[in-house]
A = this chain, B = another copy of it.
């Protein structure tokens, strides 16, 4: 039975005052529901970052770059908050086209989708991207392919692409400079993948070598942690790689708006992952049910406040 002594009261957050993000996030610990989930997730991230032996994965799905999280993600890579990135193809595609000078646009008023198509812009919920961006990217991809061997891997292809991007806010460039590998199991399923499929050079991407690299990296790790934004193939790829090692993650935080009751992976609980050996049975885990465009900046800004003395600020 629980004891009341030692049980902290679910006190309200104080009256709002000009305050830092972390003072707000930390006050969430005395609340309930998703505010508390977010606070506890931030604590787990902090512990994971302070664990010097921990290999930390950032798993990215959803339109995070169009959503505006690009430079924040790049910053977490430069600070080595994360050691490995696993991502959908869309996020690296949109990262690269931003580096080529094509930005996601916010219209004052949304035209119809038929009008948008006609005008050469395409929509991602409430932002637009000019389709010319993809033609510019295709030119780059051609040059990258020329420099590559007949059979390559998704991570090697992305490294070569990154070398051509001079952009300190780019995820790809930050990863290259920080020696952080980017795994992209679904590269084929993205605009980059379409470009690679229709190239004439007949170069091939070996999808399996990257998998082996990730498994080896996890095998060698002493402890390991993961922050999952959105779920999808990157979550599955990281979790199944861990399953092979028979070790399980020590820390796992998932930010999702999906739910468990429909059985899909993106909403699957971190507890369920314990039954697969993907997460350790006594791991520190938390799920936060919130749009990542809100939750991720809050967690990272709070984290940076807590870690600022130990951060290599020059890195960012």
Contact = CB atoms under 8 A, between A and B. Distances in A.
A137 interface: no
A106 interface: yes
Interface stretch (A45-53, A158-166, A220-228, A229-237): A229-237
Given A115-B1, A126-B36, A298 B24 contact: yes
Given A115-B1, A263-B124, A244 B11 contact: no
A147 interface: no
Interface of A: 1-2, 4, 6-22, 24, 27-28, 30-38, 61-63, 66-72, 75, 88, 90, 103-109, 111, 113-117, 119, 121-128, 130, 151, 169, 185-191, 193-194, 196-198, 204-209, 211-212, 215, 230, 232-233, 236-237, 240-241, 243-244, 257-266, 268, 271-277, 281, 289-295, 297-298, 300-301, 303-305, 308, 316
Contact of A293 (B32, B215, B300): B32
Given A117-B276, A126-B33, A198-B244, A68 B12 contact: yes
Contacts of A7: 105-108
Given A66-B32, A289-B262, A9 B236 contact: no
A309 to B, nearest CB: 11
Contact of A193 (B69, B88, B211, B293): B211
Nearest to A23: B21
| Copies of this chain held together in the complex | 4
**Among all A-B residue pairs, the 8 with the closest Cβ atoms:** A31-B68, A35-B293, A12-B71, A34-B291, A197-B211, A10-B104, A188-B207, A113-B274
Given A19-B301, A264-B61, A293-B33, A117 B274 contact: yes
25 contacts: A2-B111, A4-B130, A9-B106, A12-B169, A15-B316, A16-B301, A19-B21, A32-B67, A33-B125, A33-B261, A33-B263, A34-B291, A36-B106, A124-B268, A126-B263, A185-B186, A194-B241, A197-B215, A204-B204, A205-B208, A232-B232, A258-B258, A262-B292, A290-B291, A294-B298
A8 B298 CA distance: 23
Q: Which of A117, A196, A304 has the most CB of B within 10 A?
A: A117
A204 B203 CA distance: 13
B211 A32 contact: no
